Structure 1
Amino acid sequence: MKILSLRHLRGPNVHLSRPAVVARLGLDELTGRETTDVAGFPERLLRGLPGLAEHHCAAGAPGGFVSRMRGGTYFGHVTEHVMLELSQRIGRNVSFGRTVSTAEPGIYDLIVECPRDESPESSLPAQLLEAAVELVAAVASGASIVRADLDRRLAALAGLAEREATGPSTTAIIAAARRRGIPVERYGDLSLLRLGWGTRRRLAWAAMTDRTGGVGIDIAADKQTTRRMLSDAGIPVAPGGTATGPDEAVRLLAELGAPVVVKPRRGRQGEHVALNLRTAAEVHAAVLAAGGEVVVERQLGGRDYRVLVVAGEVVAAAERVAAHVIGDGESTVAELVARVNADPRRGMGHSRALTRIALDDIAEAVLARQECTTGTVPAAGTRVRLRDNANLSSGGTGHDVTDRVHPDVARLCLRVAAVVGLDVAGIDLRLPDIAAPVPPTADPDDVAAGVIEVNAVPGLRMHLSPVSGRSRDVGDAIVRAMFPGGSDGRIPVAAVTGTNGKTSVARMTAYLLGGGGLRIGLTTTDGVSLDGRTVYRGDATGPRSAQMVLGDPGVQAAVLETARGGTLRRGLGYDWSDVGVVTNITADHLGQDGLGSVEDIAHVKALVAERVRDGGTLVLNADDPWVRSLVDRPRVRADRKRVVWFGADPQQPVLVGHLGRGGTAYLLQDGWLVQATGARRTPLLRVAEVPGAFGGAAPYAAVNALAAIAAARAMGAPAGVVTERLTEFEPRVHNPGRGTVLRLGEVSLFVDYAHNPAALAAVLRTLERLYGRDRCVAAATLPGDRRDDLLAASAQVLADGVTRAVLYDDEDPRGRRPGEVSALVEREMRGRRPNLRSVRAEGYRAAVREALRLAVPGDVVLVLYEKLTPMLEHLEELGAVPVEAPPVLGLRPAPVRLAGAGTAAS
């Protein structure tokens, strides 16, 4: 077996609502074979991975997978389950998997869930899959799993998983945000989070927020500056000073009196902090170990406490106890430490609730002061310290004392955070008892209890998972401070999908919303724009582009064109939308990404409808049978959403029934765009006045306008603003490349992106209405990644609508041989219409020139392009100029008959 490809779906996708990887697997020598064809396969696999016996599989109960293996199943399916089991073994809690066959024998797609916040760039899924493939292949060849080898490999994978996972503090903030419905994005494998969207976006890096002042962080990082500021404010701090070398530190020892504490002036996490120093030699050694400038303080008596302040509120407090072991009269110190470190809550660094205790030089020095070594056997009940400082990062433990904090202590801590300038602060104190007030003192050199340190970005572990006492939801406290008043951090979002018209609908929706003064973020096939300015050019219909918009702090509402390719290859770029628009569903892209039928396309497009939030709005095309069928899909849950239909046929039964129940729809009726609610009809704009509809010659443009109006209204745009804004929409400026009309001498040019049979048919009908029959010349290209039958269908539509054609190939042949697509299209067009004049040209420039040579005055040249900007630049070079509107032949204004017309209520 071998892995052919692997891609990460970062958000909701067609398989499940959580991230996943899709791996393509080639079975090679195992093609066509099942587990029953290999003697003893299930037994050997289960001996090495006994946890597989608990896998449910399709049976829905433990043992289901084993039954499948013993009854015979293919090896791609086995690999999926082994990957899931290996994930569980390393603490990567995932359970969903699915294996599906492809059109090619022996090739399977494995879809396996990923942890929600695992980085899309993580190599862990690939490494787990590689391990699973190797194990299954080895067992299938007759080998047994060597437990020691497997354990070593799993240990390495577990280490990688732990390093990449979010730490306890970040995990708590993520969990609290998601309970509130706040969208969360993690940046790579960092602890940096983006919470919320657009103008409501906030950033957090562990327990630091984007409102944490840089000045406050710098003050807290400088222990001497912190001491001086607090002392000047009348806050009790330990007497002390700074030293740049051992001699100065020893002088401070003499002035302050033993014991003293030596710590780096800019240290962190208790590193190189030395306590209980009583002699010049000890101070000298501590300064050399710390390096650089140090702070020397008198060591205060009492207990170590940490108080967490968030946005002017004490939210948690813990007593910190230094790393230690308790003797049992039988075990050595080293054995006791090993036993403590075996606690699954302990890990390396800050990845788990507690940190493992290290038996290093520092521990040995602390043991020596207690006349112990790592080989000493302490008496039963004897506490043996391994560290002097109580930091969790050096193996200490936290014990919750939040409910015991004296009001005077709480007020003191609030003052400390305010003086230093931190919205989130961890304040370390030495006190006889946190339940009693801080002893008053009139002499700053005679402080017996007080503040010993202030921490920016404090660790939250001791409050989330105390060894004793209640866990405190400090992640929620931070999120509440960032999003006051119950805000979910979201901005209005509309997602637009479909086969044809989605770019036009997305652009028009964004333009209509902009009339309300909102700054709109827009993604389309052609790029990303923010407040009407293009910031990125290229196909921007996938999750990366959606995140570009949703992550911009200036965006107040977003309109996201959401195409098939990005959805299938990377998933959605958002969790929920407020409005989901589906324009139509027709045959296109068949043969790509496993799409074999229009039903498959509908399944992909349905994802946009599924991810409209409860209470949101579905805007659906009543004229399209595949779109109509979406409301019957269980995962769409149309009963929990508001459905708004749009369409050109006011007699469509689903639309008539919907209005009969008091629903809302947007219709073309008697030459008008109409808002219908129940029996009420409100005229909005004449079809002849719809920009881009060419006086009614392009009804598809009017239908696109209906969809955009419905979406904008669902997002709160007032009806009057929408109608006025629609009349100001300039297709050439705001929707370039979709029905753009130019003039060169006495010949018109109609530039469009139609590239499938339905779109081509609509455009060619429009050109016949505008210019008459047999007046159209095509300079045409079609994308090479379409199936031959789809290209043939497009070619036949072209042959029916044009009399002369110049065919050229895209610069990117998309897997085809040079000239292959144009040859296929020409062959099909001639077969459909033998008298058709057709030639092939090299590139778009030659094609346009030849098409213009074939045209006569009064003709129109249909220009189909691969890339819009180069094509428009070339047409401009030739002297083509924009025109407001072409002549409309044979169209008469439709009579106005609006039964029940009235003013809309909203």
Structure 2
Amino acid sequence: MGTDKIRILDFITYPGRNIYCHRPIMKLVVDIGEYSNIPTKDIQGFHDRLLKAFPGLKKNCCSLGYEGGFLERLKEGTYLAHVLEHVILEMQFMLGYEVKYGKTRVLEEPSVYSLVYEFQNEVCGLECGKTAVFILNCFLNDKDPDTQTFMRYLKKISIDAELGPSTTAIVQEAKKRGIPVTRIGHESLVQLGYGKYRRIVESTLTDATSCIAADISCNKQLTKTILSENHIPVPYGKVVYSEFSAVIAAKQIGLPVVLKPCDGNQGKGVVLNLDREEDIKNAFHEGCKYGNGVIVEKFVTGNDYRVLVVGNKVSAAAKRLPAMVTGDGKHTVKELVDLVNLDENRGDQHEKPLTKIRIDEISVGILKSENLTVDSVPEEGRVVKLRANGNLSTGGTAIDCTDRIHPENAELAVRAAKSIGIDIAGIDIVTEDLSKSILDTGGAIVEVNTAPGIRMHIYPSEGTPRNVAGDIVDLLFPTEESYHFPIVSVTGTNGKTTTARLIAHTLSLAGRKVGLTSTSGTFVNGKCIFKGDHSGPRSAKTLLSNKEIDCAVLETARGGIIREGLGYDLADVGIVMNIAEDHLGMDGTETLEDLAFVKSLVTEAVKENGYAVFNAEDNMTPFLMERTKANVILFSKSNRFEKAAGGGQIRVFAQDGWIRIQDKETLISLIPITEIPITCSGKIECNIENALAAAAALYALRISVDKIAQGLRSYRQNTGRFNRYAVKNFHVMLDYGHNLPGYRQVIGACKRFDSSRLVGVIGMPGDRSDEAIRSVGALCAGSFDRIYIKEDLDKRGREPLEVANLFQNAILEKNYEQKNVQIIENELEALKAAVGSANPGDLIVVLYEKLEPLEEYLNSIGAKPAE
């Protein structure tokens, strides 16, 4: 084709809410090379090729906001990356997806661009992105690719990647009820809800159906045996393994007979009304294609009915008609099939209410039995059947008859499903009239099906559509409690972990089974099940699939939000603790407003009746408040709300040594601050803030004030945060402070403890800017009497001792005495050195990277937690 002018550098998928959009989007990073300064109007023939291939682009609005806006941009001159965005969206729109959102920005001057665009089908979105790049490269190389061929390919793979019709109907019903839906992989497997009430569904097969029950239903002879033992009418039959045995069995049973595979589905291999030896032999070989063994059973005359059982009741019933055409005396059978398939309600597979009729060996055989071929011209009015069974998957149709089913038939259908152990079952009944009991008419239940399709009930060809998907969701989520899974999401620059822990602790006291994700790991009911930094979306998704929990508290960090969006749909409470200078210059966040924009996603993604909790004393709170539609609760450790004036009818604040809650006209004195252990009698001010934020969230969750106070009073073991140890005649404090605001909080707290000297063991992650590291170094120079500089094991892109040298230079520039500062690269060795040279009354502060080795060392030298 020639050299690619546009090169794809990266693809990122955001399946949930993200900083770009609250709908799923993809991010495509491309390099447009030499075209970075060439508008498309200056590329010969490009516009003509583009609009010929994608005429719908003429109606695109673009940023101008009106139809035809993009065409104006083209005429004025725009750039390739921008055109690529519109082509990708247009291709998806041509495939039937209502996608509109897209945005293109320069990522690296002059030619690297970042495109984000909405998608509804992940496979389609990805392939449209790749295909659009290929097509535009063809245009740039003076080629005219066959775009229609590409579109046909994209249509096929998009259909293949869609959820099946049954799953789609159930998903839509779940979303109407506010139940979150998570797709698992690219098949029709979905998770509905979270935690304890989470359900897994594939089509209409649920996690309540055991493997044994599913296996039984697939074994048709075993199913018949069980039904017969439960006094449910079934046709008499035998299993055979040779055509000779099939013929003998048919004669013993009595002609006509039905042959079907023992473990088939969707009517595959089923041949009805056989009374000739040759046909029986042929039917045996057809059945053998779909499983081991073939059932020969008595042919029950009558109509084919499908009864859908959901739980303990019949949800719907339909009369099924096989694929057929009606002669007009003009067209051949094949032409009649083609005419029927023009119906817009018929699709190639399951994507539409009906499936197109296919002419294959089975239909040819049925035609032959009627002395017809595909080229025969049936006389006007003659009905020509092309299938023996009425399955929709082979082109059949259905007539709703739910209101006509006889009560005894309904009861037998429910009993049949229960006897096999299936919660959602398709019961196939053959009888002349479903409104009469099969106990009187000689009808029979011929099959019990797991994962029954529900298209025929939702979109019957005739009769009343039935909302069977709603019945299924009601079965899966029978109570109001099962609909509602409380989630609290906590973000901010500092205090996230402590606040999340306080909330989780108090919820557990209130009797909830709590899941917690944080920088220190994932916890279920207080037990750590995974260690490490689990403050990202993947950890949140994993936790929310855990059946042991009935609520979740999620620490939600900036990095995960930027990389992958949120790991949940909507929270009941979203908290932004504060916005301070950390991570600036990383991932496109250059200013505090950029950082606030990222973190605001947490308080935007809150349920309609939920709450956003903000720090009234933070400068960015007014910005954050403008970006949320949730109810607002403000907290303040100084009882000052001027910066967030007018926001929130509920306020939580510190006043006269108490934490108080003002809810409209009601003032609640919650707890004296001195009774909150993690504040150390008020010495650790940041933990007062954390307690306020936790109290606000718990109050929003309608936890009683007595229980909130109990939680704040009883939470003591805040691992890795302001942990003080008594060692001989001095103290050691361990804390995770790793940015300038964190260092300020730690140093401020330490100065409130009596100590003869303050000794710092300091370091910072290498992904912070030089300026940020030097600022912390300058702060330490004015705060510590002696300093040991250590480095993290994870250098995060830095050279060995690069961070340490930045620290040392910044400290010495403040005229700090050289003899009082020392670089000891290993964190544990730095602590040992500080302990070894400690004076009576010292307080050694370690701003750690890895907690466990330090705790083990302190335990080994007899350190005890300080009172």
Q: TM-score range by the shorter chain?
A: over 0.9
Identify the match of residue 467 of structure 1 among 461, 464, 467.
461
TM-score, length-normalised on structure 1? Answer: 0.90
> Can you list the C-alpha shifts for 1:362-394, whole angstroms capped at 9, x where unaligned?
222112112222333333443332221222222
Give the stretch that moved more between structures: 512-521 or 373-382.
373-382
Q: 1:56 touches 1:64 (CA, 8 Å); kept in 2?
A: yes
Deviation at 1:57, TM superposition (A): 1.6
- Using the TM superposition, give the Cα deviation of residue 437 of structure 1 relative to its aligned residue in structure 2, in angstroms: 4.4
Q: Give the corresponding residue for 1:777.
A: 759
Q: Distance in 2 between matches of 1:787 and 1:380?
A: 83
Matching residue of 1:315: 315
Answering whether residue 744 of structure 2 is matched by residue 750 of structure 1, we say: no
Q: What is the distance in 2 between the residues matched to 1:98 and 1:666?
A: 40
1:176 corresponds to which letter in structure 2?
A: E
Residues 587 and 167 of structure 1: is their aligned pair in 2 closer, same or farther, counting only changes over 3 Å?
Answer: same
Q: 1:661-740 alignment to 2 at 5 Å?
A: 663-677=649-663, 681-731=667-717, 735-740=718-723
Aligned to 1:650: 639
Residues 565-599 of structure 1, C-alpha deviation per residue, up to 9 Å, x if partnerless?
Answer: 11111111222111122111111111222111100
Alpha-carbon contact 2:429-2:445 (below 8 Å) kept: yes
- Structure 1 residue 402: deviation in Å? 2.7
Q: 2:236 aligns with which of 219, 239, 245?
A: 239
For 1:804 and 1:380, how far apart are their aligned partners in 2? 103
Paired residues for 1:470-481 under 5 Å: 470-481=464-475
Aligned 8 A contact 1:804 1:854 in 2: no
Q: Secondary structure at the match of 1:595?
A: coil
**2: distance between equivalents of 1:124 and 1:801?**
58
Output the amino acid matched with 1:229: I
Q: CA deviation at 1:41?
A: 2.4
Gaps of at least 5 residues in structure 1 are 442-446, 886-906
Equivalence map 1:207-606=2 (5 Å): 207-291=204-288, 292-438=292-438, 440=440, 447=442, 449-485=443-479, 489-606=483-600
Per-residue deviation, 1:502: 0.6
Q: CA deviation at 1:524?
A: 0.6
Structure 1 residue 67 and structure 2 residue 72: aligned?
Answer: yes
- SS of 1:684's equivalent in the other structure is strand
Is the partner of 1:866 in helix, strand or coil?
Answer: coil
Deviation at 1:482, TM superposition (A): 1.7
Read off the aligned partner of 1:286 and give its amino acid letter: A
CA contact (8 A) 1:398 1:467 kept: yes
Deviation at 1:531, TM superposition (A): 0.3
**C-alpha spacing 1:874/1:343, structure 2 compared with 1 (3 Å):** farther
2:766 & 2:708 partners in 1: Cα distance?
A: 39
Kindly indicate whether the alpha-carbon contact (under 8 Å) linking 1:78 and 1:136 is maintained by their aligned counterparts in 2: no
Q: Residue 107 of structure 1: which of 83, 88, 112 is its match? A: 112
SS in 1 for 2:8: strand
Q: Which moved more, 1:79-88 or 1:236-245?
A: 236-245
1:805-820 matched pairs, under 5 angstroms? 805-820=787-802
TM-aligned CA deviation for residue 800 of structure 1 = 2.0
1:753 alignment partner AA: Y
For residues 4 and 748 of structure 1, the distance between their equivalents in structure 2, rounded to whole angstroms, comes to: 52
Asked whether 1:792 is paired with 2:792, we answer no
Q: Contact 2:135–2:145 (CA<8 Å) still a contact in 1? A: no
Q: Report the CA distance shift for 1:109/1:876 in structure 2 as closer, same or farther (over 3 A).
A: farther
SS of corresponding position for 2:260: strand
Secondary structure at the counterpart of residue 31 of structure 1: helix
Residue 601 of structure 1: how far off its partner (Å): 0.8
1:166 is paired with a residue of what secondary structure?
coil
Where relative contact order (Cα < 8 A, 6+ residues apart) is larger, the structure is 1
TM-score between the two structures when normalised by the length of structure 2: 0.94
TM-superposed deviation, 1:32: 2.5
The answer as to whether partners of 1:672 and 1:683 remain within 8 angstroms in 2 is yes
Q: C-alpha separation between the residues in 2 aligned to 1:453 and 1:144?
A: 57
| 2:618 alignment partner AA | D
* Residues in 2 aligned to 1:53 and 1:340: alpha-carbon distance in whole angstroms: 35
Partner AA of 1:17 in structure 2: H
Distance across 2 between alignment mates of 1:486 and 1:518:
16
2:87 paired with 1:82: yes
SS of the equivalent of 1:794 reads helix
> Shift in Å at residue 499 of structure 1?
0.6
- Per-residue CA deviation, residues 235-264 of structure 1 (Å, 9 max, x unaligned), is 333233332332332122213332211111
1:169 to 146, 166, 170: 166
How do 1:617-628 and structure 2 match up within 5 A?
617-628=611-622
CA distance in structure 2 between the aligned counterparts of 1:767 and 1:477, rounded to whole angstroms: 61
1:157/1:466 CA distance change after superposition, 3 Å: same
**Which one of the candidate residues 182, 186, 202 is aligned to 1:185?**
182
Deviation at 1:33, TM superposition (A): 2.5
Read off the aligned partner of 2:145 and give its amino acid letter: V
Contact 1:183 1:490 in 2 (8 A): no
- Give me the whole-angstrom Cα distance separating, in 2, the residues matched to 1:486 and 1:751: 45
Q: Is the 8 A contact 2:580 2:592 kept in 1?
A: yes
Q: Once the two structures are superposed, what CA deviation does each residue of 1:15-64 show, in whole Å capped at 9, x if it has no partner?
A: 22112112222222221322223234222201011122232222333322
Relative to structure 1, the CA distance from residue 699 to residue 485 in structure 2 (aligned partners, 3 Å threshold; closer, same or farther) is closer
Matched position secondary structure for 1:717: coil
Structure 1, residues 445-484: CA drift from partner, whole Å, max 9, x if none?
xx3x332212121111212222333332211110112222
Match for 2:434: what amino acid?
A: I
- The alpha-carbon deviation at position 275 of structure 1 amounts to 1.6
Q: List runs of 5+ in structure 2 lacking aligned partners.
A: 1-5
Specify whether residues 322 and 800 from structure 1 end up closer, same or farther in structure 2 by C-alpha distance, changes over 3 A only: same
Q: Is the contact made by 2:789 and 2:822 (CA closer than 8 Å) also made in structure 1? A: yes
Partner Cα distance (1:834, 1:199) in 2: 57
**Cα RMSD, aligned residues only:** 2.4
Q: 1:464 to 1:858 in 2, by over 3 A?
A: same
Instruction: Return the alpha-carbon distance in structure 2 between the equivalents of residues 379 and 185 of structure 1.
Output: 53
- Cα distance, 1:752 vs. partner? 1.1
**1:892 match:** none
Task: Tell me how far 1:667 sits from its aligned partner.
Answer: 1.7
Corresponding residue number in structure 1 for 2:830: 847
Give the aligned residue type for 2:609. G
In terms of mean alpha carbon deviation, does 854-863 or 264-273 score higher?
Answer: 854-863
Show CA shifts across 1:288-316 (max 9, x none).
33233222122222221111121222222
Closer/same/farther in 2, CA of residues 433 and 703 from structure 1, 3 Å limit = same
Deviation at 1:513, TM superposition (A): 1.5
SS at match of 1:125: helix
Q: Deviations over 1:302-346 (max 9, x none)?
A: 221111121222222222121223334444333433444454544
**Contact 1:307 1:317 (C-alpha < 8 Å) held by counterparts:** yes
Amino acid in structure 1 at the alignment position of 2:556 = T
Q: Which amino acid aligns with 2:222?
A: T
- Residue 523 of structure 1 and its aligned partner are, at CA, apart by 0.8
Q: Distance in 2 between matches of 1:673 and 1:234?
A: 69
740-749 or 568-577, larger mean C-alpha shift: 740-749
CA contact (8 A) 1:397 1:467 kept: yes
**2: distance between equivalents of 1:487 and 1:394?**
41
Give the AA of the match of 1:573.
G
Distance 1:125 1:840, change over 3 A: farther
> 2:3: which partner in 1?
none
2:130 match: 130
| Distance (Å, rounded) in 1 between the aligned partners of 2:469 and 2:481 | 16
User: Shift in Å at residue 486 of structure 1?
Assistant: 5.1
- Alignment check: 8 A CA contact 1:529 1:536 kept: yes
Counterpart contact for 2:491–2:577, Cα < 8 Å: yes
Distance 1:102 1:17 in 2: 22
SS class of match (2:320):
strand
Q: Distance in 2 between matches of 1:490 and 1:273?
A: 45
Distance in 2 (alpha carbons) for counterparts of 1:815 and 1:385? 71
Of 521-530 and 835-844, more deviation after overlay is shown by: 835-844
